[in-house]
């Protein structure tokens, strides 16, 4: 049974210029111990989707119009604000994108780690402090007991991200959502954080959703990949199959933009021409059609539904939302 299952999620923002349909009929599941990579350009709906799950979007202007978010079989979209507070931090941990602004500058690191321990687990101050020391040691921060009394500005960016991970792990959540947690870090620190996540996943066995722009990161850590564009899932597959047999033109275009270390040098780095769609209304056509070399009349007339590529049940194998799919040889060469 999936630890997390999302069905038909739709999120809309009310703006002065009208409605923005940021998330459109998104459905996926997450198995215990699995790492699901979520990729796509900025504005594709990755972060908004995950923040919608646990009520982190401001309302107004955001509104979750439809869908179910089943955590352990219970729809948390129907939970009261008090019930949702018991889920956030306790059963679902969230690592935010920018470690430089995610921590409160006026509280010590120890106070911020201990807060969820005392609120969700009812620990005494002494118990929470002991657990906070364990968490800092778990994420690789030396001299942990002393560092509890320091403030965020006394930590580097990489160390702050480790603290954010420690806070997210404090209550042993069933699901960890990491929203581009290495984007603001240099490549050396990024590699350390990725290695840390691999170790923690092995030790704790939690399910992880990892949001990123970086397909190279996904290739190294994910079990399964979900590609988003225009607020929709356009392709979903096991990581090896997505890289070797991509079906959606957008996925194939993303893979072509990855710089290659070996082989013949190309004159220019390939880019995806055009701009992401304006999500001013409910989708009635393929969101990628204006940037797609394979678009035809049906793409303008009908928004494609996800369909299985490999014969497995939808969401359990390789599926794609496209009226045109890559021929076998062309997919292998992408």
Per residue in 287-319, pLDDT (tens digit) is 999 999 899 999 999 999 999 998 777 777 899
Residue 261: is its pLDDT beyond 80?
no
> Would you say 227 and 251 are in contact if contact means Cβ atoms under 8 Å apart?
yes
Cis peptide before 60, with omega less than 30 degrees from 0?
yes
Quote the pLDDT of residue 265. 61
pLDDT for res 269: 67
Mean pLDDT of the chain: 88
The pLDDT confidence band at residue 332, using thresholds 50, 70 and 90, is: very low
The token duo for 264 is 């013949």
Strand order in the sheet with 4-15: 18-30, 4-15, 62-71, 74-75
DSSP annotation of 50 reads: H
Long-range CB contact pairs, 194-197, < 8 A, 24+: 194/220, 194/221, 196/139, 196/140, 196/162, 196/165, 197/165, 197/221
Scanning 58-124, the segments in alpha helix (DSSP H) are 81-87, 99-102, 109-121
Please tell me the least confidently modeled range out of 17-21, 79-83, 245-249, 267-271: 267-271
Which pLDDT does position 326 carry in this prediction?
Answer: 58
Question: For residues 8 and 27, is the Cβ–Cβ distance under 8 A?
Answer: yes
Rg from Cα positions in the chain: 21
Q: What's the whole-number mean pLDDT along residues 242-266?
A: 82
Instruction: Please check the confidence at residue 12 and state whether its pLDDT lies above 70.
Output: yes
The pLDDT score that the predictor gives to residue 333 is: 53
Tell me 88's DSSP state. Answer: B
**pTM confidence score:** 0.89
CATH numbers and ranges of domains, the chain: 4-91+171-260+268-333 (3.40.50.300)
As to burial, measured by CB atoms within 10 angstroms (0-12 exposed, 13-18 middle, 19+ buried), residue 203 is exposed
pLDDT tens digits for 74-86? 999 999 989 998 9
pLDDT score for 201: 83
């Amino acid at each position: 049974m999936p630890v997390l299952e999302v069905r038909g999620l739709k999120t809309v923002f009310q703006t002065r210029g009208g409605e923005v349909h940021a998330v459109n009929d998104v459905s996926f599941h997450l198995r215990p111990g699995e790492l699901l990579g979520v990729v796509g350009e900025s504005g594709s709906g990755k972060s908004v989707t995950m923040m919608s799950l646990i009520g982190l979007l401001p309302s107004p202007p955001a509104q979750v119009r439809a869908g179910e978010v089943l955590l352990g079989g219970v729809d948390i979209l129907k939970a009261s604000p008090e019930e949702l507070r018991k889920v956030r931090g306790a059963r679902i941990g969230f690592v935010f994108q920018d470690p430089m602004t995610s921590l409160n500058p006026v509280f010590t690191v120890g106070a911020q780690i201990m807060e969820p321990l005392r609120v969700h687990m009812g620990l005494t101050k002494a118990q929470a402090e002991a657990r906070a020391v364990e968490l800092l040691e778990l994420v690789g921060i030396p001299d942990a007991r002393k560092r509890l009394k320091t403030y965020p500005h006394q930590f580097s960016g990489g160390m702050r991200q480790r603290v954010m991970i420690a806070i997210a792990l404090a209550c042993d959540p069933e699901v960890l959502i990491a929203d581009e947690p290495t984007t603001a870090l240099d490549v050396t620190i990024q590699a350390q954080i990725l290695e840390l996540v691999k170790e923690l996943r092995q030790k704790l066995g939690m399910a992880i959703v990892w949001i990123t722009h970086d397909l190279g990161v996904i290739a190294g850590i994910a079990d399964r990949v979900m590609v988003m564009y225009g607020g929709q899932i356009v392709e979903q597959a096991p990581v090896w199959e997505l890289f070797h047999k991509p079906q959606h033109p957008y996925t194939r275009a993303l893979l072509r933009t990855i710089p290659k270390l070996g082989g013949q040098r190309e004159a220019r780095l390939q880019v995806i021409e055009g701009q992401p769609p304006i999500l001013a209304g409910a989708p009635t056509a393929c969101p990628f059609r204006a940037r797609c070399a394979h678009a035809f009349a049906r793409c303008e007339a009908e928004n494609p539904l996800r369909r299985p590529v490999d014969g497995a049940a939808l969401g359990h194998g390789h599926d794609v939302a496209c009226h045109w799919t890559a021929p076998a040889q062309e997919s292998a060469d992408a």
